[in-house]
Amino acid sequence: MTGTSQEMAHIDPNPAPARWEHFPHEADMGIRGYGSTPAQAFEQAALALTGVITDLDTVDPSERVAVQCEVDDPEVLFVDWLNAIIYEMATRQMLFSKFEVAIEGSRLKGQLWGETVVVEKHHPAVEVKGATFTSLRVACEAEGRWVAQCVVDV
């Protein structure tokens, strides 16, 4: 599945290997991560996810949470990864600002570092309800340049 040409126009032809960005969606928000491996692109997209809610710099990565996902399809694995983070945010009432991902075949092991939400400190703008299959894409765009993206419902 690919994004529209309009969305693709936002992509820098020579991006730094690891970075993240948002892309517009009418009602919700698109998140996109780049990396030299799928795992790194997943980590960057997770930063973009937190960036939907708050300013990343305000979130202290003091507490660690581990998550695991397993599914054959790499794009579905990406949606699962984001939904695992969303679930931890919701049930632990935490925000995360540092991520580590290891992918072996169909299995993903992720670590999230963050802290409990403090409204006065984080001023969270919006709650993310879930990751969708809209504009979902996990692909190698060039040698050593991976992208992982989708729209999240807010």
- Spatial distance between the Cα atoms of 104 and 102, rounded to a whole number of angstroms: 7
Q: Which of 37, 58, 111, 134 binds another protein (CB under 8 A)?
A: 134
Query: Least distance in Å: CB of 99 to another protein?
Result: 19
> Pairing relation of β-strands 19-24 and 29-35?
antiparallel
Q: CB-wise, 40 or 138, nearer to another protein?
A: 138
Buried b (16+ CB within 10 A) or exposed e, 82-109: bbbbbebbeeeebbbbbbbbebeeeebe
Rule CB under 8 A: is residue 24 a binding residue for another protein?
Answer: yes
Cβ atoms within 10 Å of 112's Cβ, excluding its own: 25
Rule CB under 8 A: is residue 1 a binding residue for another protein?
Answer: yes
Which among 11-19, 26-34, 57-65, 103-111 is the span making contact with another protein, rule CB under 8 A? 26-34
- In one-letter notation, the amino acid at residue 12 is D
Window 74-133: residues binding another protein (CB under 8 A): 76, 79-80, 83, 86-87, 90-91, 93, 95, 116-119, 122-127, 129-133
